[in-house]
Amino acid sequence: MARKFSSIGFLGRFGRSEDLRALDAALRIFDLHPARVPEGAKLAIANLMKDADPSGDPPEEAYPFVAHLVAYCALGRDVFAEANGEEPAVNAEARIEAALDNPDSFDAQLVLLTIHAKLIHPATVERYGLHAE
């Protein structure tokens, strides 16, 4: 099966691909406006998702799972918890801690992507002592 390619659109003539629209919608669920995430980072996230899914076509429910961690990293604990509640914040923190223990994991790749995209909140970097080599 051929892999579907993501598209950000072109001059208003070609629309955004379905995967990027789903990612934008999922980011909004966690109070992170999609405009705050660079298009290149969104394309990289979509490609990570495709690489992680055996079919190469992640299911719709995968997008909120990914957006949850990306939004936590970008917003920082305080803003994320205020917008989404304490339980989602604690869940995101557990995912980051697990990612630190397993640097090859999907979540570790997402956290690293937020660092390289300069999307990560300074408080998140400080809290977990994150850095990219």
Q: Give me the average pLDDT of each 10-residue run along the chain (133 residues).
A: 50 67 96 95 94 87 97 97 98 98 96 96 94 76
Contact (Cβ atoms closer than 8 angstroms) between residue 121 and residue 70: no
DSSP states along 31-57: T--GGGS-HHHHHHHHHHHHHHSTTSS
Residue 81 in domain: yes
Q: How far apart are CA 14 and CA 126, in angstroms?
A: 41
Residue 29 in domain: yes
Contact (Cβ atoms closer than 8 angstroms) between residue 47 and residue 73: no
Residue 122 in domain: yes
Closest by CA to 26, choosing from 73, 53, 64, is 64
Residue span of the structural domain in which 71 resides: 18-128
**Confidence (pLDDT) at 13:** 52
Q: Which residues is 19 bridged to in the sheet?
A: none
Instruction: List the structure tokens of 132.
Output: 């990219």
Residue 9 in domain: no
Q: Domain tally for the chain?
A: 1
The pTM (predicted TM-score) of the whole model is 0.88
**Confidence (pLDDT) at 55:** 83
Residue 45 in domain: yes
Residue 8 in domain: no
Residue 4 in domain: no
Residue 12 in domain: no
